[in-house]
C-alpha cells in the first residue's frame, strides 16, 4: 500500500468529501491533447476515464499553480493524500449504479479474477511515437468454420490507453486510476441489429460499427466514481501556499463538516500569489 497525492481546488475538495466520489475525466478533457489520439482510430481515448495522482511527497510549485485553479480562476486549493486502496472495496452494485447513471458499459479488468475497482498504474514516460500515437485498430481475415468462406475480423486494443506520456511531463511522476467504458447506445445498436443489415456488405457493417464506436456521445466526459469512505480516516490535507486566510478558514470548515478530526496542514513553500493586488 502506497500513498498518493492529488492537487485540486477547494471546491473539488468539498465535492470529494461531500459526495464521497472521485472524478474520472475522459482523455479528451485532460491537459495533454495528444493523450486522446491514436494513429488509426482518431480520439479513441475518449472511452478512457482517468483520475490523476502523483507519488511525489515533495510539494510541486507547478502543480500548485496548474491544478488548484477553480472556475473563477482563483488558484487557492489543497493537496490531498490517500492510500492507493481508495477503491479497494468496490462492489458489483456500485459498478452497475455507475453504468446506469452514465449509460455506459464498463470493461472489467481480469487478473486471475474479475476486479471491480478501477485499474491503477504509474504513467510511463517516453518519446517513442509508436507508444505516444499508438495503433489500436486490428483487421485480419480468417476462415469461417460455419460457411467455409473468408471472414473479416476487427479488434480494438484498449489495453494501453492512458498509460503513456511524453518525457516532457516526467516531473509529474503521475499515477492513474483508470476506467474504460463505451456508451450503452453502441451495445443497444448491436442488439437491435443495426450492424447486421442485409443492405450492407461486411466491410460496410464493420465501418459502421467503428464509426459509432468513435462518435456516439457520452452523457458526460467524466464519471464521479464512489470510493471507500472508510479510507478518509487516512486522509491528509495540505493547504496551498497561494491560499489566503479566508481560503484556509473555508477549508477548515469543510474538514470539520465532512471528516472526523482531520487537521489542515500548512505548506512549507513560500510563493507569491499574483492574483492578489
Q: What is the pLDDT of residue 151?
A: 58
Candidates 58, 79, 57, 84; CA nearest to 67 is 79
CA distance 222 to 217: 12
Q: Give the pLDDT confidence of 78-134 residue by residue, as tens digits.
A: 999 999 999 988 888 899 999 999 999 998 654 445 667 899 999 999 999 999 999
* Mean pLDDT computed over every residue of the chain: 89
Tell me the β-bridge partners of 224: 23
Q: What is the DSSP letter of 101?
A: H
Q: Are strands 3-9 and 164-165 parallel, antiparallel or unpaired?
A: unpaired
Q: Are strands 137-143 and 150-156 parallel, antiparallel or unpaired?
A: antiparallel
Vertex 221, ends 115 and 243: CA angle to 5°?
95
Asked if 83 contacts 1 with a C-beta cutoff of 8 angstroms, the reply is yes
Of residues 166 and 276, more confidence is placed in: 166
Q: How far apart are the first and last CA of the chain?
A: 44
Q: Give the pLDDT confidence of 149-163 residue by residue, as tens digits.
A: 555 667 888 999 999
238-to-5, 19, 114, 191 alpha-carbon distances in Å: 10, 20, 35, 50
Asked if 83 contacts 233 with a C-beta cutoff of 8 angstroms, the reply is no
Amino acid at each position: 500500500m502506497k500513498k498518493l497525492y492529488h492537487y485540486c481546488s477547494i471546491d473539488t475538495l468539498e465535492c470529494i468529501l461531500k459526495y464521497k466520489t472521485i472524478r474520472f475525466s475522459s482523455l479528451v478533457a485532460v491537459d495533454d491533447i495528444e493523450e486522446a489520439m491514436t494513429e488509426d482510430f482518431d480520439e479513441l481515448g475518449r472511452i478512457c476515464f482517468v483520475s490523476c495522482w502523483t507519488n511525489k511527497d515533495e510539494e510541486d510549485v507547478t502543480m500548485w499553480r496548474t491544478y488548484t485553479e477553480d472556475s473563477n480562476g482563483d488558484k487557492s486549493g489543497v493537496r490531498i493524500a490517500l492510500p492507493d486502496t481508495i477503491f479497494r472495496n468496490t462492489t458489483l452494485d456500485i459498478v452497475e449504479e455507475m453504468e446506469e447513471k452514465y449509460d455506459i458499459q464498463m470493461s472489467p479488468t481480469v487478473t486471475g479474477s474479475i476486479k471491480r475497482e478501477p485499474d491503477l498504474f504509474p504513467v510511463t514516460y517516453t518519446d517513442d511515437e509508436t507508444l505516444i500515437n499508438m495503433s489500436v485498430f486490428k483487421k485480419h481475415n480468417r476462415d469461417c468454420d460455419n460457411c467455409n468462406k473468408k471472414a473479416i475480423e476487427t479488434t480494438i486494443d484498449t489495453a494501453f490507453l492512458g498509460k503513456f506520456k511524453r518525457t516532457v511531463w516526467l516531473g509529474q511522476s503521475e499515477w492513474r486510476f483508470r476506467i474504460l467504458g463505451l456508451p450503452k447506445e453502441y451495445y443497444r445498436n448491436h442488439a437491435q441489429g443495426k450492424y447486421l443489415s442485409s443492405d450492407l456488405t461486411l466491410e460496410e457493417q464493420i465501418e459502421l460499427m467503428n464509426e459509432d464506436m468513435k462518435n456516439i456521445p457520452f452523457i458526460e466526459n467524466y464519471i464521479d466514481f464512489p470510493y471507500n469512505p472508510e479510507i478518509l480516516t487516512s486522509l491528509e490535507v495540505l493547504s496551498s501556499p497561494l491560499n489566503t486566510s479566508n481560503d484556509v478558514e473555508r477549508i477548515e470548515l469543510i474538514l470539520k463538516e465532512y471528516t472526523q478530526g482531520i487537521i489542515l496542514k500548512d505548506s512549507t513553500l513560500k510563493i507569491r500569489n499574483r492574483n492578489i493586488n
